[in-house]
Structure 1
Amino acid sequence: MAAESRPDPGTALVTGASRGIGRAVAQAFARRGDRVAVHYGRDRGAAERTLASLDGSGHVVVGGDLGDPAGAQTVVDAAIEGLGSISVLVNNAAVAPSAGNAHRVDDVSFAAWQRAWSDMVAVNLLGASNVTMLVAQHMIARGSGGAIVNVGSRGAFRGEPDHPAYAATKAALHAFGQSMALVLAPHGISVTSVAPGMIATERQASKLDGVAGDGIRGQSPFARVGTPEEVADAVAYLTSPGAVWASGTVLDLNGASYFR
């Protein structure tokens, strides 16, 4: 799906834009003429590589731990200072599932369970809600509308037995987005979510190249997994002027691998 061009260049904050989906979203925005604030949590070098890959000029890098409310405030303030304004927000940053933070309820210590839940709730849900609140108030004060997209997950619907906190935070993020869609519509701000299935990012490379790869690809009748660019195209559409009427939606991007 191709995004409509904007009458004027937009200004976008993309959290977790150092690599993967976030990088692809930043690139899609830059191609359509937006200026982008590329957020990173820890890896500034990767964020700088994203910055170097963007078309156009006027982009900035902003760093901060979104799991800390003060960090969220710092990120938003730096993005506004660097871009002059924010007209688009993409909440992509997340503590993603990994072997190191697995917390299957029948095979984990209470300490590991607490750690996984605390880390994922802090960034995936509270971090996104804090950034949204700050950016939404900025958009309201500007009086020029805007668009917010939350990057959720297929796991919010089908469950994640090895990472229940991840599924729970993504389900909560979808619900949070719909609450924001209701309250922000009178201000001309649309709020949507995307729910990707497995995506071929650097983080997933070892899993897809391993013995389980064929089974993962076989979950979709297309016999493959999605690409970051496919998610980015959807996000670009949802933040385009013609997508305002989609506000409140959660768009599944899983190659028909799961229906709800």
Structure 2
Amino acid sequence: MNFKNKTVLITGASRGIGKATAMAFAQKGAKVGINFRNNLKEAEKTLAELPGECHQLFQQDISEKDGPEALIQRFVDCYGRLDILVNNAGISIFHKIDEVDFEHWTHAWENTFKTNLFAVSNLCYWGAKAMMKNGGGRIVNVSSRGAFRGEPTKPAYGASKAALNSMSQSLAKALAPHKIYIGVVAPGFTETEMAAITLTPAERENLLRESPFKRMAQPQEVAHAILFLASDGAEYSSGTIIDVNGASYLRS
């Protein structure tokens, strides 16, 4: 896969899967825009580690109503065009129905959908508009195995990712005439910096038992699938959802 001189915007790219994806694109010659919300220190660290030149930071809260349009416009103003958009940013809020009050419940649903679905749909809208002006492009949305298996302790997360999958496939049909191709990557639990901080030993052990590989996914493995969907030659995979979960959940 060669992305020489391609422009790539990745949301939530300061660490984890986003960082690994930024690194992978940069290694293949792309010019990478790193979107982040608050963590400037981590974003600057990621930027400094990217090989190649012409990479940029784009601080923007995509959950704000005008955030997606502003982000896409700033990116196009910087690079002149948008070739590839990777919607990786997302949030996950625990809200087990038999433990939380109604205020917490509604807060979790509203904020999860605001970031995981509404922001992504708006980024797809403005990203597609920019791509139409330049003859096409690629959009890759990052979903989750939770869209298929259910998330009992954070149902809004699972629901938002299921909706993301459906939206992506609808847009794959709608945007094909414009030579804009859309794919989805659905990771299982991934070994990120956040996982190392938040998981208890018992939770980690349970996760390791879920896959026959007896390990979690590495961010680079998820990035590999993202790059495939964004690559030349993958056009007829538009509308595809690629599972990257180490056979921890198999769907028919």
TM-score range, shorter chain: over 0.9
CA distance in 2, matches of 1:155, 1:118: 18
Q: Which runs of at least 4 in structure 1 moved beyond 4 Å after TM superposition?
A: none
CA distance in 1, matches of 2:107, 2:178: 38
Q: Are 2:177 and 1:186 equivalent residues in the alignment?
A: yes
CA distance in 2, matches of 1:54, 1:223: 30
Identical residues among aligned pairs (%): 43
- From 104, 114, 126, the counterpart of 1:134: 126
Partner of 1:198: 189
Partner of 1:210: 201
Q: CA RMSD in A?
A: 1.1
Call closer, same or farther: CA 1:208–1:113 in 2, change over 3 Å.
closer
Q: Are 2:2 and 1:5 equivalent residues in the alignment?
A: yes
Tell me by how many angstroms 1:227 deviates.
0.4
Task: Answer with 70-79 or 220-229: which moved more.
Answer: 70-79
In the TM superposition, 1:142-153 aligns within 5 A as 142-143=134-135, 145-153=136-144
- From 5, 10, 20, the counterpart of 1:14: 10
Residues 207 and 213 of structure 1 are in contact (CA less than 8 Å); yes or no, is this contact kept in structure 2? no
**Consecutive unaligned residues in structure 2, runs of 5 or more:** none
Partner of 2:22: 26
- From 146, 158, 162, the counterpart of 1:171: 162
Partner of 1:256: 247
Calculate the TM-score normalised by the size of structure 2: 0.97
Q: Are 2:211 and 1:220 equivalent residues in the alignment?
A: yes
CA distance in 2, matches of 1:68, 1:197: 27
Tell me by how many angstroms 1:208 deviates.
4.7
- 1:137-165 Cα offsets, whole Å, 9 max, x none, are 1101112x211000000000001001000
Q: Are 2:79 and 1:83 equivalent residues in the alignment?
A: yes
Task: Answer with 174-183 or 68-77: which moved more.
Answer: 68-77
Task: Answer with 148-157 or 8-17: which moved more.
Answer: 8-17
SS class of match (1:12): strand
- 1:58-107 Cα offsets, whole Å, 9 max, x none, are 01100111111211222111111222211000000111x3xxx3111111
Count residues in correspondence. 251
Partner of 1:112: 104
SS class of match (2:234): helix
Task: Answer with 65-74 or 248-257: which moved more.
Answer: 65-74
Q: Are 2:67 and 1:71 equivalent residues in the alignment?
A: yes
Calculate the TM-score normalised by the size of structure 1: 0.94
What one-letter code is carried by the residue in structure 1 that aligns with 2:211?
S
Tell me by how many angstroms 1:243 deviates.
1.0
Tell me by how many angstroms 1:133 deviates.
0.3
Tell me by how many angstroms 1:207 deviates.
4.8
